[in-house]
Structure 1
Amino acid sequence: METKKKGFPTAFWTCAATEIFERLSYYLGRSLILIFATATVATGGLGLSDTVAANMQSNLTAFSYLLPLFGGIVVDRYIGAKYTTPVGMMIAGVGYYMGSVATTATGVYAMIFLVSLGLALFKNGPIIGRVITEKEQMDPAFAMRYTLVNVGAFIGTFLVGILYKDVFAKDGVLGFAPCFKIAALIMFLGACWYFFVCWRFLGDVGKRPFKKTKTQEELAIDAEKTVEEKKETKKEPLTTIEKKRIGAILIASLFSIIFWIFWYLGYLPVYYYWADNMNWVVAGYEVPSTWFDAANSMFCVILGPVTAALWRKLAARPQGDMSLFRKTGLGIAIIGLGYIFYAVIDIARGGHKASVLWLIVFAFLLTLGEMFFSPLGHSFISKYSPSRYLALMMSMWGFATFIAAKSYGPVYGILFGGNIPFKTACIGIAVVSFVAAAIMIALDKRLSALVD
Structure 2
Amino acid sequence: MKKEDQFIGKHNAPEDILEYEGPQLFGHPKGLMTLFFTEMWERFSYYGMRALLILFMTAPIASGGLGFDDQTSGAVYGLYSMAVYLLALPGGWVADRLIGLKKSVWYGGIIITIGHFTMALPGVFSLLSGTSAPEGQLAGWDLPSFFLGLILIVFGTGLLKPNISSIVGQLYPENSSKRDAGFSIFYMGINLGAFMAPIACSTLAIYDWHLGFGLAGFGMLMGLIQYKWTKKYLQGVGEPVVNSSKQEKQAYQRLLKRVWVILGLVVIVLALFFFQVIPLDPVALAGVSNTLIAIVALLFFGYVLIFGGLDSGQKKKVVVIMILFVFSAIFWSGFEQAGSSLNLFAERFTDRMVWGWEIPAGYFQSVNSIFIIIFAPFFGAMWVALARKKLEPSSPLKFSIGLIFLGIGFLVMYFAAKIAASGNLAAPSWLVITYLFHTFGELSLSPVGLSLTTKLAPKKFAGQMMGMWFLSIAMGNLIAGRIAGSASGGTSEALAEMPDQYMLIVYTVMGAGFVLMLISKPIRSLMGKVH
Matched residue, 2:516: 440
CA offset digits 1:150-183 (Å, max 9, x no partner): 1101111111121121xxx2xxxxx222322222
1:49 aligned partner, one-letter code: D
Residues 1:33 and 2:53 are matched in the alignment: yes
Matched residue, 1:305: 377
Matched residue, 1:151: 192
List aligned pairs for 1:42-441, cutoff 5 A.
42-101=62-121, 103-122=141-160, 123-131=163-171, 133=174, 142=183, 144-165=185-206, 169=207, 175-197=208-230, 200-201=233-234, 203-204=236-237, 207-208=240-241, 240=311, 248-314=320-386, 317=388, 319=390, 322-347=393-418, 351-382=423-454, 392-415=464-487, 421-441=497-517
CA offset digits 1:284-313 (Å, max 9, x no partner): 221110011011221122223333434444
Q: Distance in 2 between matches of 1:203 and 1:180?
A: 35
Q: Distance in 2 between matches of 1:451 and 1:322?
A: 13
Residues 146 and 304, structure 1, Cα contact 8 Å, conserved in 2? no
Residues 96 and 181, structure 1, Cα contact 8 Å, conserved in 2? yes
Note closer, same or farther for the CA distance 1:242–1:431 as it changes in structure 2 (3 Å cut).
same
TM-score (norm 1): 0.79
Q: Distance in 1 between matches of 2:18 and 2:193?
A: 25
CA offset digits 1:204-228 (Å, max 9, x no partner): 356549xxxxxxxxxxxxxxxxxxx
Shift of 1:61: 0.9
Matched residue, 1:220: none
Which of 367-376 and 306-315 deviates more?
Answer: 306-315
Q: Distance in 2 between matches of 1:47 and 1:237?
A: 49
Residues 69 and 395, structure 1, Cα contact 8 Å, conserved in 2? yes
TM-score (norm 2): 0.68
Shift of 1:34: 1.9
Shift of 1:373: 2.2
Unaligned runs of 5+ in 2: 1-6, 8-16, 21-25, 123-140, 243-306
Note closer, same or farther for the CA distance 1:207–1:244 as it changes in structure 2 (3 Å cut).
farther
Matched residue, 1:449: 528
Q: Distance in 1 between matches of 2:432 and 2:106?
A: 36
Note closer, same or farther for the CA distance 1:348–1:146 as it changes in structure 2 (3 Å cut).
same
1:436 aligned partner, one-letter code: A
SS at match of 2:361: coil
Q: Distance in 2 between matches of 1:109 and 1:280?
A: 30
Q: Distance in 2 between matches of 1:192 and 1:421?
A: 49
CA offset digits 1:118-174 (Å, max 9, x no partner): 111112223334556359977776555433211101111111121121xxx2xxxxx
Residues 37 and 47, structure 1, Cα contact 8 Å, conserved in 2? yes
Q: Distance in 2 between matches of 1:256 and 1:312?
A: 24
Note closer, same or farther for the CA distance 1:185–1:347 as it changes in structure 2 (3 Å cut).
closer
Matched residue, 1:223: none
Residues 139 and 379, structure 1, Cα contact 8 Å, conserved in 2? no
Note closer, same or farther for the CA distance 1:425–1:178 as it changes in structure 2 (3 Å cut).
closer
Shift of 1:111: 1.2
Which of 237-246 and 416-425 deviates more?
Answer: 237-246
Note closer, same or farther for the CA distance 1:190–1:394 as it changes in structure 2 (3 Å cut).
farther
Q: Distance in 2 between matches of 1:203 and 1:323?
A: 39
- More RCO (CA 8 Å, sep 6+): 1
Highest Rg: 1 or 2? 2
Identity fraction in percent: 26
Residues 329 and 438, structure 1, Cα contact 8 Å, conserved in 2? yes
SS at match of 1:48: coil
Matched residue, 1:213: none
Note closer, same or farther for the CA distance 1:365–1:372 as it changes in structure 2 (3 Å cut).
same
Q: Distance in 2 between matches of 1:201 and 1:361?
A: 41
Residues 142 and 379, structure 1, Cα contact 8 Å, conserved in 2? no
Q: Distance in 1 between matches of 2:316 and 2:103?
A: 31
Which of 125-134 and 333-342 deviates more?
Answer: 125-134
Q: Distance in 2 between matches of 1:148 and 1:180?
A: 21
Matched residue, 2:11: none
1:149 aligned partner, one-letter code: I
Shift of 1:343: 1.8
Q: Distance in 1 between matches of 2:64 and 2:450?
A: 39
Matched residue, 1:224: none
Q: Distance in 2 between matches of 1:404 and 1:296?
A: 18
Residues 82 and 474, structure 2, Cα contact 8 Å, conserved in 1? yes
Q: Distance in 1 between matches of 2:101 and 2:383?
A: 28
Residues 72 and 395, structure 1, Cα contact 8 Å, conserved in 2? no
Note closer, same or farther for the CA distance 1:95–1:275 as it changes in structure 2 (3 Å cut).
closer
Which of 250-259 and 306-315 deviates more?
Answer: 306-315
Residues 60 and 116, structure 1, Cα contact 8 Å, conserved in 2? yes
Shift of 1:340: 1.1
Q: Distance in 2 between matches of 1:336 and 1:135?
A: 38
Residues 71 and 121, structure 1, Cα contact 8 Å, conserved in 2? yes
Residues 126 and 391, structure 1, Cα contact 8 Å, conserved in 2? no
Q: Distance in 2 between matches of 1:130 and 1:376?
A: 22
